[in-house]
């Protein structure tokens, strides 16, 4: 089995440094462009099945990448973004960060000290549900020889990749930074064991913009 794990394309909230989480924000035009470039780069890869977060930004990214391929695309709540509760919609960086942004930004700068606010998930909960998804997918004997697209989000994708690397310490969550929009990581699964083949592949020409909390 080969997994192609992709982070969704850009949204207006990504551009404005607003906290998204479970809030269902669609791709913007640039995000669709990034997904289209990624689709072009992956057009020769035969995809047999896709899994996507149910949030629009991830599903639309998957649909653009799959294009005319007639393959099933299944929603799975376990790979949607971590929930940030009352922080969602808050501007966390740029020129006008909101006062509460300092507490939120610990999620990126000092993850072990981050305290989930009301209605939010913990990093441990994120690891649990994404780990359940990965374990179940890797055990699917009927998919053992298939190529699978997995369309997800920055933190959810990081949790998946950290688990594959065997590094699930909360303090080191962002050891490899936030995956860029529409970056693709290839993961090979043999006998139920997953290993990263190539990480952070970019198929578009634009300069990769990294997440900054200030």
Nearest CA to 196 out of 210, 206, 183 is that of 183
Nearest CA to 155 out of 91, 214, 102, 104 is that of 104
For the chain, the straight-line distance linking the first and the last C-alpha, in angstroms and rounded, comes to: 40
DSSP H helices in 10-153: 12-15, 29-41, 56-66, 101-109, 123-138
Task: Characterize the bridge pairing of strands 73-75 and 2-7.
Answer: unpaired
Q: Tokens for 1, please give them.
A: 């089995």
Task: Please say whether the beta carbons of 53 and 76 come within 8 A.
Answer: yes
For residue 186, the number of C-alpha atoms closer than 13 Å in the C-beta half-sphere is 10
| Angle, vertex CA 208, rays to CA 204 and CA 210, nearest 5 | 150
Based on the residue annotation, tell me whether 8 is a catalytic residue of this protein: yes
Q: What are phi and psi of 122, to 5 degrees?
A: -90, 165
Based on the residue annotation, tell me whether 81 is a catalytic residue of this protein: yes
CA distances from 31 to 12, 61, 124, 158, 207 (A): 9, 8, 29, 20, 13
Q: Tokens for 119, please give them.
A: 């209605």
> Catalytic: which of 10, 37, 81, 121?
81
Active-site annotation, residues: 8, 81
């Amino acid at each position: 089995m080969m997994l192609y794990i992709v982070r969704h394309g850009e949204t207006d909230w990504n551009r404005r440094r607003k906290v998204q989480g479970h809030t269902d924000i669609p791709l913007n035009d640039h995000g669709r462009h990034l997904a289209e470039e990624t689709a072009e780069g992956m057009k020769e890869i035969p995809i047999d099945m896709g899994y996507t977060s149910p949030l629009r930004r991830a599903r639309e990214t998957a649909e653009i990448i799959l294009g005319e391929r007639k393959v099933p695309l299944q929603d799975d709540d376990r790979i949607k973004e971590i929930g940030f509760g009352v922080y969602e919609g808050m501007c966390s960086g740029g020129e006008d960060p909101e006062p509460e942004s300092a507490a939120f930004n610990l999620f990126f700068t000092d993850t072990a000290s981050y305290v989930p606010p009301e209605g939010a998930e913990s990093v441990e909960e994120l690891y649990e549900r994404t780990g359940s998804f990965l374990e179940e997918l890797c055990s699917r004997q009927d998919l053992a020889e298939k190529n699978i697209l997995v369309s997800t989000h920055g933190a959810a994708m990081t949790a998946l990749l950290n688990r594959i690397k065997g590094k699930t310490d909360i303090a080191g969550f962002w050891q490899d930074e936030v995956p860029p929009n529409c970056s693709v990581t290839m993961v090979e699964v043999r006998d139920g064991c997953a290993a990263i083949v190539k990480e952070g592949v970019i198929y578009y020409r634009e300069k990769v913009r990294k997440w900054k909390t200030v």
